[in-house]
Each structure stands twice: as C-alpha cells, then as structure tokens.
Chains A and B, each alone.
Chain A
Amino acid sequence: MGDEGFRFELPKAGIIKGVRAQDIEVVGEKVVNVRVRAKPYSNTYTPEQLERVAEVAERYGSGKVHLSPRHNLEIPEVGSRKLTEALQELFAAGLQAGGSGTSVRNIFTCADYCPMRVRSVRELGAMLSELFGDMPLPNKFTVSLAACPAGCSRPWNVDIGIIGVAELLVEPERCEQGCDACVEACPVDAVTLKGGLRIEQERCVRCARCARACKSGALRMARTGFRVVIGGKEGRTVAFGQEIAEMAGDYEVIELVDRVIRQYRKMARRRDGKKYERLAEVLQRMGGAEAFMKG
C-alpha cells in the first residue's frame, strides 16, 4: 500500500550502449545513447518535443543530439544512473524510447507535405507502428513506406518496402500537340509523343508525374495503391526487395506485413553460429519471395 505513484518501466528497446566523445572516465556508471521517437507515431516532431529533447540533452547528456537514419533522435552520453529520470521527462512530452535490437525498428515514412506524393503513407505508417512497432523478431526488421516511387525513405533496401504507385488512364486523343510537359516530367523516359502519346510500360515506374504535369487530361491517375517489396537490406551486404504485391490497398498492406512477419518468424533459422538470419537471407535460402510466402 501507499506505493501508487507513477510506475516507470525501463524500455527494452532504444537504450543503446554508447561512448563518451572525450574519453571521460565514468566509474560505476554506464554511458548510453537514448534513441527516441514520437508516440503516438509521427514522422515529425512538435516544437515542444524538440525543446524537451534539447533540455534532456543538456541536463543528462552532452547537449548534443544525433539524427538517426530512421527519423529517431538520439541523445548520446546519458549516464545510466539518471536514465529513468531522463526517460520520464521525454515520455511526458510524447517521446518514447525504441527502435533498436532484434525487433521491428522505427516505421519509416516520407514527408506528408511532399507534392510528389502519389498516396499518403502517414496514416498507414501510424497503423503499422501501432500494430508491429518494437515487436521482437529473430533479427532486426525494418519497414519503410514511400508515398511515391522516388522512394526517399529507401523502401528497396529494407525488410518490407511499401511504395505508393498510380495506375494511369491514358487517352491519346485528348493530347494537345506542341506541349511536352509529360516528357519533361517523366524521370525514367517512359513517355513518348512521336507518333502519338504512348507510355512504355516496361520503363514506367508508376509515379504519375506525367499525369500531374498534363494539362489536357490525356494522362490522368486512375487509381493508387501500394507496391510491396520484401527482403531488401543495406549495410554489410546489399539486397533489393522482391515484389509480393503490385497494387495493394491499405488493409491489404497491413495483412501482407502481418503475413510476412509470421512467415519470417517461422522460417528464420540460426546461421552457422548463433544469430538468426535476416529476411534477405531467408529469401535467398528459400529461392525467392514467392517460395517464402508459400512456404
């Protein structure tokens, strides 16, 4: 009785062993880096959150903050004795430690305000984060969402890449001769106007930049969805994702992510040593994404 105050459990993820930049000896105290992200999920920070990170970095760390490659903010050089206090202060500002170890890392999404966007990924990213964020898995697992095939959030080099794509409606007879806005806009030279408007399907990456540029209505977006690729990675070795869906809707994507994660749990084996395989290795062993999804 009497102990009804706020209980704070140290999170398992997001506390990373660190070093001091200036070789300061810390006796009896470990130095860690605290990796945080916004909770509930967001790929942006509010002014208040940034100010809180600044405050915590000054009070418990070295006044510096590192930007991670996956949206996280890392506060380095925090002493382990004051860790709980630091985390509590961050937590109160809607910042939670996470995104490390053998688990689902921070869901990575591109900026919602980008005008190149084909299909928004913010809501879907938030949902995926809610469902799968920090879930322990055989090895590190990364999920990235890109709102268009330009893929600023690197969907080709992660375990699951989700890429917004558009299906085009092409009506060559509406094309006004003399304008080549679509040709200019296309990043992969897939549009030709010689002998009438035509899209080379093999080259087209479905980014719909041509449709955005077209003034006459000859090129329009028919519908949008997500291309899903799995088994990519970057780091010591590089692998590019293999397609498992061409044009999936939001719920289909969630279902697919769930299936891939279940399959990965079932199929991942220990390497010759003790660590488990990454998804890329599982796919390689099983002979590709199709066999993996069936297996």
Chain B
Amino acid sequence: MRHGVLRGAGRGKVVLRVRSSQPYTAELTAEQLRTLAEVARKYGSRVVHTTPRQAIEVPDIPEELVGEAVAELERAGLVAGASGRLTRNVFACSRWCLYNSIPVAELAEELNRRYGEVEMPAKLTISLSGCSFSCSRSRTSDIGVIARTVIRVEREKCIKCGLCVNEPLGCQVDALRVSKEEQVVWSRERCAQCGFCSNVCPASSITAEKRGFDIYIGGGGGFYPTEAVLFREFVSADEVLEEVDRVVERYRELAEPGERLFRVVERLGVRAFG
C-alpha cells in the first residue's frame, strides 16, 4: 500500500493519514481544516481523528477513491504519509506557548522537510520541545530535542514585584522565592531551566544568560516504554540539524532491517552514534 494509507476496520475501506507540509506539522490553516472537513464528508464517514503525533486521519475511505481524496488533500498542502517505515511526523509544541524557551516550529519544519518522505530501517519518531517541560514527549521518542535557558539572577536589581513567583506567571517548580521583605532567591538545584522568569521579570533582575538545546536519543513508548538518554548538551539550532543528521545516518548504518533506533541504542550504546 502507498504511504499514509492504512488498513481500517471495514472491508474495502482504508484510513488516510495526512500531515501538514505547509507550514509544518503541528499547525493547520483554516483552509486546511475546511479541506479536511470536505474530504471526510465526501469520501469518508464524516469523521476526522487527530493522532498522538499531530497527524490527521480520515477513516472509512473506499479503496478505489483514495487517489482522488489524496489529490484533494495535497492541493491544500496536506500530504499522505507518516506511516510504515517513514519518519513519523516531527512532533512539535506550539509556537504560541508562553513558556517557550526557544520556539521549535521552524526547526520542526526543516526536519520534516529533510526526513518526512524518507524510508528508515523502521519507524522513526522525532520530537521537539520548546521548553524543559516537554509537552511533546521528547524523552520517550527515538530522537528528542529540548530547549532550555540558563538564567542569570542579579539579586540587587529585584524590585520585589512577585511576578516571577505568583500565579499565573510564576515559577512552576518553586525555584524562586521573593517576598515584600526579601529580594529574589534562586535555587539552582530546583530550577527546571525553562527560562520563563527571564521573560517575565520587568526589572532585568532575572535575564537569560544562554539558551540552547539538549538532544536525547533512544526513547520509546508502546510495547517497550523506554526513557531516552542524553546525547548532546546545549547545542544551537544549526547544531541540532547537524546532530540529527548524524544520528539518522548512523542509525541507517547500524540498524538491522526493522530495528527501531531505541533498540540500536540498547544494543550498541549511545557512543555508537558518535
């Protein structure tokens, strides 16, 4: 079967899996939503499912009409794929999220462009998180990229406004303490390095010293829940692309046919990837 066409529950009916190629996977335009609605109405059973990796599925499409349905979706920048041995949708969190340390939308777009249509030894999942809270599950994916910010605290500049500690914008992990009597105190151990306080602070008492990405590899969910291991620390966006290229290249060299990346990491260790 062609990519993105999956076996469904009914006889002669298939499930069509698409992902957005414009602008990237986690976002849809109003026009794309309308096209999906139209395709589900015309070819499917008036149902559209959103998958756990930000792809979209339209089930119950008669096999003989798949070509037509795909053509209609492609005109709206929705491509069939993300199945079988193709790289899954590059999973990315929202570019509109307030907690972004570094928004990952553009990085996701680039990675999708590079790997979205490429066959791998087995299913490959890449996830990108704009902050260390990692809504996009980067620590249980084959390749996970997580942004973080190291802050600098200049205590004497603190005006004791409390924005960095109080709801709704305050620190999520209680790493900061401020009171009417006391200027800000930062607990380095507790800090999750999301960097949000540095965006919030009006007095430049807390600023972002440096921002970068950590890369994790070898995580997985499903049959074998596995936590990924740290592969590279604090690299730039350009370096992320280089490093992911390297990991994918090594994976293709090292893997047996059908072997997931996390299996290769298990078998040969993270060092095998350079």
Contacts and interface: CB of A to CB of B under 8 A. Distances in A.
Interface of A: 16-21, 33, 43-48, 50-51, 53-55, 57-58, 63-69, 71, 73-74, 76-77, 108, 110-115, 117, 149-154, 156-157, 187-188, 205, 207, 234-236, 238, 240, 271-275
B96 A154 contact: no
Contact of B97 (A18, A114, A240): A18
Nearest to A53: B33
Nearest to B91: A69
A47 B46 contact: yes
Contact of B38 (A18, A47, A58, A187): A47
A77 B15 contact: no
Interface of B: 7-10, 15, 25-31, 33-34, 36-38, 40-41, 46-52, 54, 56-57, 59-60, 91, 93-98, 100, 132-137, 139-140, 168-169, 172-175, 177, 190, 192, 221-223, 225, 227
B133 A236 contact: yes
A74 B98 CA distance: 14
Contacts of A68: 94, 135
Determine which residue in B38, B41, B49, B98 has the highest number of CB atoms from chain A within 10 A of its CB, and name it.
Answer: B49
Contact of A113 (B9, B33, B98, B132): B9
Contact of A235 (B27, B37, B52, B133): B133
B59 A111 contact: yes
B223 A153 contact: no
Contact of A18 (B51, B52, B98): B98
What DSSP secondary structure best describes chain A's contact surface?
loop
B50 A67 contact: yes
B50 A51 contact: no
A48 B46 CA distance: 9
B52 A50 contact: no
Contacts of B97: 16, 18-19, 33
Most buried by A among B60, B97, B134: B97
Contact of A66 (B60, B94, B168, B222): B94
Given A108-B52, A111-B49, A152-B222, 6 more contacts: A20-B96, A64-B29, A66-B26, A110-B52, A117-B9, A205-B223
A11 to B, nearest CB: 15
12 contacts: A43-B49, A45-B49, A54-B34, A63-B29, A65-B30, A69-B54, A69-B137, A111-B59, A113-B59, A113-B60, A151-B222, A156-B221
